């Protein structure tokens, strides 16, 4: 299936094609789908064929969620790794190309005898050979998100990609531009964006329940996976059987394999991940970005907590974003915390209140809103204000589910709300904090128009990272 939004055939061409397709013996017209609804059009009743790219812990979870949708079929899988035992990580599963392929086939065999999932090490071969694919779901390490998304969209596939959408800011701009050009259905994997809770928070803030918001705090407990790491490995370890290390590296400069670079601990290395901020920023700065319609920050300053260097992500962070006034809205300050650091308790909170390990705080001139544990239902304080407020009217359509909304968009429905135009912007905000971290806490004065950190030419190599030959994206 191609993009349902595009149809390059002119009306006269369509009429001619229909006439030529008439079959005199039966008196019926045989009309291909593209004539009825655009090139490769898939009717709302049709199955959407999706390929899985990346079959680690998150890839397996995403496959399980997609299999719950009756109008979806998982028909192909690509991953350079054949088998991963993730029992010691929060995924608590066996993953990799082999186990996830078997799981998908077992699921569909209940309905289709001898159901077969096409298997590939290299996702590029999958895109070339699987002509029936409508869409792909990318769940790889951060360093390959942009390239996989770019090639998939160039192949006219709708794309779901995990967060952060890209590994650097230039890539985020490229993917945003391509999304606008193609009109393909997209969704970033910040699943909290599809909850009722975040919609209620946005509605409360926009309705002025706590007055004008000028100050936001967001915190997560996330820290390093390997606390003892002080530098890049100086030796290599044995690669797992059936593992293509070169494909795993993707655009990243070559280095010897070490098991630290494999699931899930790759997040501790700048070459592959973006630390706690990159992992959670698109989740926990989402409500503020959406509710306050935050544009590009004017300045960003994020300081590492504990050991970090040019290769290794920190144990934690504390960071300060400054957004200028917009329309009638005043400037906004957003403070970010990870690794166990949290903001001071606000005087509007009741006696004995303690922060949850993860949350967001919105400070207005009438009161505060707290999201406990991420994007949850808004809690209003002080309690006297909470008792007196009128719940705002619903102004944002409720989600039918993060994957459901994406599949509906593929079938010609409205855009999914975490589409790549929004997701790329949220990713850029997140990665500006990562840029400051990689610049050892330098304050970034952001020139959004020219994609430059003012007065910091050394930042250029992080804004657009060098890539290996053969892994370039277009300009």
DSSP sequence for 58-83: HHHHHHHHHHT-TTEEEEEEE-S-S-
Q: Are residues 80 and 205 in the same domain?
A: no
Contact present, 157 and 148 (Cβ < 8 Å): no
Asked if residue 474 is part of any domain, the answer here is no
Same domain? 204 vs 163: no
Tell whether 26 and 78 lie within a shared domain: yes
pLDDT of residue 336: 98
User: What is 117-170 written as a DSSP string?
Assistant: -EEES-HHHHHHH-TT--EEEE-S-GGGHHHHHHHHHHTT-EEEEPSSS-SSHH
178 and 226 in a single domain? The answer is: no
Based on the fold, state whether residues 144 and 292 are members of the same structural domain. Answer: no
Are 212 and 283 members of one domain? Answer: yes
- Is residue 127 in a domain? yes
Residue 473 covered by a domain? no
Domain end call among 192, 223, 250: 192
Instruction: Tell me the pLDDT band of 12, cut-offs 50, 70 and 90.
Output: very low
> Domain for residue 172, yes or no?
yes
For residue 361, the domain's CATH number is 3.30.360.10
Q: What is the CATH number of the domain that holds 77?
A: 3.40.50.720
- Same domain, yes or no: 213 and 128: no
User: 185 and 319 share a domain?
Assistant: no
Q: Are residues 138 and 200 in the same domain?
A: no
295 found inside a domain: yes
Residues in Cβ contact with 175 at an 8 Å cutoff, skipping those fewer than 6 apart: 146, 149, 150, 153, 165, 166, 420, 424
pTM of the model: 0.90
Is the pLDDT reported for residue 126 higher than 80?
yes
410 found inside a domain: no
Domain boundary among 162, 192, 222: 192
334-371: b or e for each residue (b if 16 or more CB lie within 10 Å)? bbbbbbeebbeebebbeeeeebeebbbbbbbeebbbbb
pLDDT tens profile 212-268: 999 999 999 999 999 988 889 999 999 999 999 999 999 999 999 999 999 999 999
Residue 470 lies inside a defined structural domain of this protein: no
Query: What is residue 474's predicted lDDT score, i.e. its pLDDT?
Result: 81
Please write the tens of the pLDDT for every residue from 134-167: 999 999 999 999 999 999 999 999 999 999 999 9
Provide the number of structural domains found in the chain: 2
Distance of alpha carbon 80 from alpha carbon 252, whole angstroms: 15
**End of a domain among 134, 166, 192?**
192
Structural domain for 377, as ranges? 195-234+265-399+420-463
The pLDDT assigned to 42 comes to 57
- Residues 140, 169: one domain? yes
Give yes or no: residues 49 and 177 share one domain. yes
Cα 290 to chain centroid, rounded: 15
- Asked if residue 2 is part of any domain, the answer here is no
Same domain, 351 and 211: yes
Q: pLDDT per residue over 105-116, tens digit each?
A: 999 998 888 999
């Amino acid at each position: 299936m191609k993009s349902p939004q595009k149809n390059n055939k002119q009306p006269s061409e369509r009429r001619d094609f229909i006439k030529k397709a008439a079959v005199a013996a039966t008196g019926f017209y045989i009309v291909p789908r593209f004539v009825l609804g655009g090139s490769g059009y898939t009717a709302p009743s049709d199955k959407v064929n999706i390929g899985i790219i990346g079959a680690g812990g998150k890839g397996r979870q995403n496959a399980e969620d997609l299999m719950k949708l009756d109008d979806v079929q998982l028909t192909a899988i690509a991953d350079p790794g054949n088998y991963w035992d993730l029992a010691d990580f929060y995924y608590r599963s066996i993953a990799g190309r082999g186990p996830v392929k078997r799981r998908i086939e077992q699921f569909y065999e209940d309905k289709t005898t001898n159901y077969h999932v096409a298997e590939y090490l290299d996702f590029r071969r999958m895109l070339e050979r699987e002509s029936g694919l409508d869409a792909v779901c990318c769940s790889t390490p951060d360093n390959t998100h942009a390239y996989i998304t770019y090639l998939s969209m160039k192949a006219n596939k709708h794309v779901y990609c995990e967060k952060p959408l890209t590994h650097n800011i230039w890539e985020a701009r490229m993917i945003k531009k391509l999304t606008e050009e193609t009109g393909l259905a997209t969704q970033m994997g910040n699943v909290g964006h599809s909850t009722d809770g975040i919609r209620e928070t946005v509605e409360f803030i926009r309705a002025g329940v706590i007055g004008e918001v000028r100050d936001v705090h967001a915190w997560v407990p996330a820290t390093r996976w390997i606390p003892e790491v002080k530098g890049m490995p100086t030796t290599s370890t044995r690669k797992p059987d059936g593992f293509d290390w070169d494909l795993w590296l993707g655009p990243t400069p070559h280095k010897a394999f070490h098991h630290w670079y494999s699931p899930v601990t790759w997040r501790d290395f700048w070459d592959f991940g973006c630390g706690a901020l990159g992992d959670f920023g698109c989740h926990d700065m989402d409500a503020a970005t959406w509710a306050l319609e935050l544009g590009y920050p004017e300045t960003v300053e994020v300081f590492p907590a504990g050991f970090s260097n040019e290769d290794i992500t920190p144990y934690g962070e504390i960071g300060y974003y400054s957004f200028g006034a917009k329309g009638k809205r005043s400037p906004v300050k957003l403070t970010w915390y990870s690794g166990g650091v949290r903001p001071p308790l606000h005087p509007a909170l009741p006696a004995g209140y303690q922060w949850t390990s993860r949350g967001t705080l919105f400070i207005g001139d009438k009161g505060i809103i707290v999201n406990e544990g991420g994007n949850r239902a808004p809690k209003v304080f002080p309690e006297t204000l909470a008792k007196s407020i009128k719940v705002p009217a619903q102004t944002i359509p409720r989600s039918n589910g993060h994957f459901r909304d994406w599949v509906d968009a593929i079938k010609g429905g409205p855009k999914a709300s975490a589409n790549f135009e929004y997701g790329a912007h949220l990713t850029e905000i997140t990665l500006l904090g990562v840029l400051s971290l990689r610049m050892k806490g330098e304050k970034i004065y952001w020139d959004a128009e020219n994609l430059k950190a003012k007065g910091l030419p050394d930042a250029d190599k992080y804004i657009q990272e060098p890539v290996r030959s053969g892994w370039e994206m277009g300009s």
